[in-house]
Amino acid sequence: MDLLRFITAGSVDDGKSTLIGRLLYDSKNILIDQLEALEKSTKNRTDGSVDLALLTDGLRAEREQGITIDVAYRYFTTPKRKFIIADAPGHVQYTRNMITGASNANLIIILVDARQGVVEQTRRHSIIASLLKIPHVVVAINKMDLVEYLEDVYNNIVIDYANVAKQLGLKDVIYIPISALNGDNIVDKSTAIDWYMGKPLLELLEEVEIDNDINLTDARFQVQLVIRPQTDDLHDYRGYAGKVISGIYKKGDKVTVLPAGIETTISKLEVGGEEVEEVFAPQSVVIQLADDIDISRGDAITKVDNQPQVNNELEVLLCWLDDKPLVPGNKYYLQHNSRLVRAVVKQIDYKLDVNSLDQQPVEGNVKLNEVVKATIKTAAPLVFDNYEKISANGSGILVDETSNSTVAAVLFK
Amino acid sequence: MSNYHLNYLEELEAESIYIFREVAAQFERPALLFSGGKDSITLVHLAKKAFAPGKIPFPLVHIDTGHNFPEALTFRDWLANEVNATLTVRKVEDTIKQRSLTEPKGKFPSRNWLQTYTLLDTIEEFKFDCCIGGARRDEEKARAKERIFSVRDEFGQWNPKLQRPELWNIYNGRIHKGENVRVFPISNWTELDIWNYIRKENIGLPSIYFSHEREVIEHEGQLVAMSEYVQPSADDIITTKKVRYRTVGDMTCTAAVESTASTLDEVINEIISTKISERGETRIDDRVTEAAMEDRKKNGYF
């Protein structure tokens, strides 16, 4: 059994909460006491039906204001897969929350209201999906019950969206007509939508192939910390603990330690204290090297014949996530996995319109939810890849030196 | 499917180990909050793996309410010794005396709220900048929104509106003096994941997780163990039942479930077929108000 992480995107009335509620409810992942709490909160409703959207309701502060504040994570399991849903709210600060939820997702469900078709929000969600390179896209055309389950309505939306997908370079796109409210095509195939030949949503989620989402070709590893027990029996032990970001490492591999550029050989590999012959992404491992080299947190161990970029000047896309605007020339910390370096945003080339993908000139400071192309200079060189090539080695965050807040998502070019 | 493939438990384990190592590297004085329950026992197991062959580079800290199951305390001491970790115990009893706090009253006088005082005092005493906890996001709706690295202010308070965005696997643990971070390495695990992992890794648990005979009274449909901390009313009937615990907290706020499951396989089968959530079935303290957990967290609770 493997693990699929997905995010649901939709604007406020697209039925996102109902869809998640329906998935949890129909896959029998809702338990009696949670259902009782649900029925209690639904008592005030006039029609007496259970409001599935309330299953995903969070904090009291949110209920009082009738809004969702933050990304919530939901869990459910079927006999085939474990699922983690990032449920991102659909209003102000949407870009920020969606990027947070989408950064780890294998798949995105983009909800489209069958009555509205492809709208500005749909384009915006799709652009973020394409920026973050979410490997799989499911376009769920919801509220089919409100358009009399008409195939024509569905087909027209599919044609419209296919244009958006083509423009954005989204490859693996699956379309499905649903009614989250009535449960059509969620867990079971809908009888009302008999013209749809595909699988219901849950089956799609169970079967989408995610093995290839991890890059096993280009080996990348970054040191999180050095393990030196310094006990009598482990006097000379020196292991580099970290996560295999991508690719495969084998005992005996010739490697280069970066940014220093020193070559050596892997002498031993361990997982959870046990020696192994090879390791692969995304395992957490310990690497031992044949030579004594000065290596510390944030250094990279890569293969001699497959090298990443090493540079202290970076072309990046910045998604600004903080209420305080980005002031060009200000200094920040750039955190790239475990590597933390001081950085300055040197130049801002243009702003990306997240509704049209148009490049626009930047006037004044960069504000919350804006995406810009920028040049960053770092105090020490970074060992990285293009985000499109290896997303896990091509991404970082900016941290405000004074507030310590995470203020931007950084995608390396 | 290639050989280079992790199943969901291996993937969760890899993620948790990564988080543990980030804690050890980013903080000067971290601590693992150890409650004696299965989640914190799993944390200790993961920490051991994260730093092998070295020892766990931070102490286990137990905030002892004084209402613990004796079996859980015995197990705690054994485990700390087994993994060669420093164990620090601070008692709620002492905080109550030092700060003249008012003991809760009633039939099941829970010291759950008072724990927060002892925890914050302990953080202050040892200048801990990071406390690792075993909370899971599937437990409760306030938990579902919490970050893996959750920054608390100098009063230990959680502010759901001021959480840092947490992107990819990049954890920002930078804080100001006086603040601390709560880190939850098993955020993405569910109750069933924990049990399956315990079985896979053959992790030892206190005996009360398995079926045993115990004197209990029934309270609003839940079975509460008789102990010196519980004040039964005249009309309570004390009966002896075969029970096990699904969660282990205080004797005053944890309910038992009737069960004959005496092996891990049997316990897991029961959990799979159960129709009630973990907290709903076994936590008396969460039933007070729908927002009980949210309120406690805002006040500095785990």
Query: In B, which residues are within 8 Å of A99 by CB distance?
Result: 165, 167
Distance, in Å, from the CA atom of B247 to the CA atom of B284, rounded to the nearest integer, reads: 11
Q: Which among B14, B138, B290 is the nearest to A75, CB-wise?
A: B138
pLDDT, position A22: 85
Query: In B, which residues are within 8 Å of A82 by CB distance?
Result: 8, 190, 193
Pick from A59, A41, A63: which is nearest to A51 by CA? Answer: A41
Distance (Å) from the alpha carbon of A59 to chain B's nearest alpha carbon: 6
Distance, in Å, from the CA atom of B71 to the CA atom of B209, rounded to the nearest integer, reads: 10
Distance, in Å, from the CA atom of B222 to the CA atom of B254, rounded to the nearest integer, reads: 9
Closest-approach residue (CA) in chain B for A4 = B8
Of A49-53, A208-212, B80-84, B113-117, which has the strongest mean pLDDT? Answer: B80-84
Q: Tell whether B1 is covered by a domain.
A: no
Assigned token pair, B263:
């092996």
- Does the CB of B187 have a partner CB in chain A at under 8 Å? yes
Are B138 and B223 in the same domain? no
pLDDT tens-digit readout, A159-192: 999 999 998 989 889 999 999 988 899 988 999 9
Contact yes or no for A243/A284 (Cβ under 8 A): yes
Residue B301, C-beta contacts closer than 8 angstroms, at least 6 positions apart:
B115, B116, B119, B293
pLDDT, position A163: 92
Residue B202, sorted as left (phi over 0), alpha (psi -120 to 50) or beta, turns out to be left
Residue A251, C-beta contacts closer than 8 angstroms, at least 6 positions apart:
A266, A267, A268, A269, A277, A278
Distance, in Å, from the CA atom of A146 to the CA atom of A156, rounded to the nearest integer, reads: 16
pLDDT, position B287: 46
pLDDT, position B1: 44
Mean pLDDT taken over chain A: 88
Assigned token pair, B250:
């205080």
Q: Tell whether B41 is covered by a domain.
A: yes
Distance, in Å, from the CA atom of A50 to the CA atom of A115, rounded to the nearest integer, reads: 24
Are B216 and B131 in the same domain? no
pLDDT, position B288: 44
pLDDT, position A39: 61
For residues B217-226, give the mean pLDDT. Answer: 78
Distance, in Å, from the CA atom of A74 to the CA atom of A87, rounded to the nearest integer, reads: 7
When comparing pLDDT for A362 and A377, which is higher? Answer: A377
Are B152 and B267 in the same domain? no
Are B211 and B277 in the same domain? yes
Of A120-129, A221-230, B258-267, which has the strongest mean pLDDT? Answer: A221-230
Distance, in Å, from the CA atom of A210 to the CA atom of A3, rounded to the nearest integer, reads: 9
**Per-residue confidence at B283, pLDDT binned at 50, 70, 90?**
low
Contact yes or no for A108/A140 (Cβ under 8 A): no
- Residue of A214, A404, A407, A410 to mutate, interface with B, max B Cβ within 10 Å: A404
The answer, yes or no, to whether residue B291 has pLDDT greater than 70, is no
Residue B50, C-beta contacts closer than 8 angstroms, at least 6 positions apart:
A241, A284, B16, B17, B20, B21, B24
Query: Residue B115's domain is classified under what CATH number?
Result: 3.40.50.620
In chain B, residues 201-230 whose CB comes closer than 8 Å to chain A: none
Domains, chain A: 2-213 (3.40.50.300), 220-303 (2.40.30.10), 309-412 (2.40.30.10)
Tokens 């990819």 belong to B168
- For residues A121, A123, A129, A130, the Cα torsion angle rounded to the nearest 10 degrees is -160
When comparing pLDDT for A24 and B43, which is higher? Answer: B43
For residues B218-238, give the mean pLDDT. Answer: 77
Q: Are B142 and A58 a contacting pair at CB < 8 A?
A: yes
Are B25 and B96 in the same domain? yes
pLDDT, position B289: 46
Contact yes or no for A248/B6 (Cβ under 8 A): no
- Does the CB of B165 have a partner CB in chain A at under 8 Å? yes
Closest-approach residue (CA) in chain A for B141 = A58
Are B68 and B215 in the same domain? no
DSSP assigned state of B282 = H
Q: Are A59 and B294 a contacting pair at CB < 8 A?
A: yes
Contact yes or no for A312/A381 (Cβ under 8 A): yes
Pick from A261, A270, A277: which is nearest to A238 by CA? Answer: A270
Q: Tell whether B201 is covered by a domain.
A: no
Q: Tell whether B43 is covered by a domain.
A: yes
SS3 call for A171: coil
Query: In A, which residues are within 8 Å of B164 by CB distance?
Result: 405-406
Max CA distance (Å), chain A: 76
Q: Tell whether B26 is covered by a domain.
A: yes
DSSP assigned state of B283 = B
The answer, yes or no, to whether residue A89 has pLDDT greater than 90, is no
- Does the CB of B24 have a partner CB in chain A at under 8 Å? yes
Q: Which among B138, B167, B291 is the nearest to A60, CB-wise?
A: B291
Relative orientation angle of helices B8-26 and B38-51, to the nearest 10 degrees: 70
Are B181 and B213 in the same domain? no
Residue A261, sorted as left (phi over 0), alpha (psi -120 to 50) or beta, turns out to be left
Are B50 and B83 in the same domain? yes
Are B156 and B68 in the same domain? yes
- Residue of A5, A44, A70 to mutate, interface with B, max B Cβ within 10 Å: A70
Are B13 and B157 in the same domain? yes
Pick from A122, A59, A192, A203: which is nearest to B292 by CA? Answer: A59
Residue A77, C-beta contacts closer than 8 angstroms, at least 6 positions apart:
A29, A83, B190, B192
pLDDT tens-digit readout, A91-142: 655 677 888 889 999 999 999 999 999 988 888 889 889 999 999 999 999 9
Q: Are A1 and B172 a contacting pair at CB < 8 A?
A: no
Query: In B, which residues are within 8 Å of A103 by CB distance?
Result: 167-168
When comparing pLDDT for A221 and A20, which is higher? Answer: A221
Q: Tell whether B127 is covered by a domain.
A: yes
Instruction: Write down the H helix ranges in chain B.
Output: 8-26, 38-51, 70-82, 92-98, 115-126, 191-201, 264-273, 278-282, 292-298
What per-residue string of b and e applies to A90-110 under the rule 16 or more CB within 10 Å gives b? beebbbbbbbbbbbbbbbbbb
Among A132-136, A223-227, A281-285, where is mean pLDDT lowest?
A132-136
Distance (Å) from the alpha carbon of B57 to chain A's nearest alpha carbon: 10
The CA–CA distances, whole Å, from A158 to A118, A140, A285, B90, B288 equal: 9, 10, 44, 62, 49
Query: In B, which residues are within 8 Å of A286 by CB distance?
Result: 52
Q: Which among B10, B25, B163 is the nearest to A224, CB-wise?
A: B25
Q: Are A216 and B48 a contacting pair at CB < 8 A?
A: no
When comparing pLDDT for A38 and A389, which is higher? Answer: A389
Q: Which among B4, B13, B14 is the nearest to A248, CB-wise?
A: B4
Pick from B88, B150, B153, B155: which is nearest to B122 by CA? Answer: B88
Q: Which among B5, B14, B48 is the nearest to A211, CB-wise?
A: B5
How are beta strands A284-289 and A262-271 bridged, if at all?
Answer: antiparallel
Distance, in Å, from the CA atom of A361 to the CA atom of A45, rounded to the nearest integer, reads: 49
> How many residues can be counted in chain A?
413
Assigned token pair, A13:
């009335």
Q: Tell whether B199 is covered by a domain.
A: no
Mean pLDDT taken over chain B: 85
The answer, yes or no, to whether residue B275 has pLDDT greater than 80, is no
**Structural domain containing residue B156:** 8-193+291-298
Assigned token pair, B174:
């930078």
Count of domains forming chain B? 2
Tokens 């075969």 belong to B242
Assigned token pair, A396:
């970082």
Query: In A, which residues are within 8 Å of B137 by CB distance?
Result: 73, 75
Distance, in Å, from the CA atom of A317 to the CA atom of A397, rounded to the nearest integer, reads: 11
Query: In A, which residues are within 8 Å of B22 by CB distance?
Result: 224, 338
Q: Which among A1, A70, A228 is the nearest to B7, CB-wise?
A: A1
In chain B, residues 30-59 whose CB comes closer than 8 Å to chain A: 48-55
Residue B229, C-beta contacts closer than 8 angstroms, at least 6 positions apart:
B67, B108, B109, B250, B251, B252
Q: Which among A100, A337, A396 is the nearest to B165, CB-wise?
A: A100
* Percentage of the residues of chain A whose pLDDT score is greater than 90: 64
* Percentage of the residues of chain A whose pLDDT score is greater than 70: 88
Pick from B231, B302, B10: which is nearest to A2 by CA? Answer: B10
Cross-strand bridge partners of residue A136: A107, A172
DSSP assigned state of A151 = H
pLDDT tens-digit readout, B49-77: 999 999 999 999 999 888 888 889 999 99
Are B184 and B35 in the same domain? yes
Are B42 and B173 in the same domain? yes
- Residue of A7, A25, A30, A33 to mutate, interface with B, max B Cβ within 10 Å: A33
Cβ neighbours of B231 (radius 10 Å): 12
Of A6-15, A91-100, A216-225, B268-277, which has the strongest mean pLDDT? Answer: A216-225
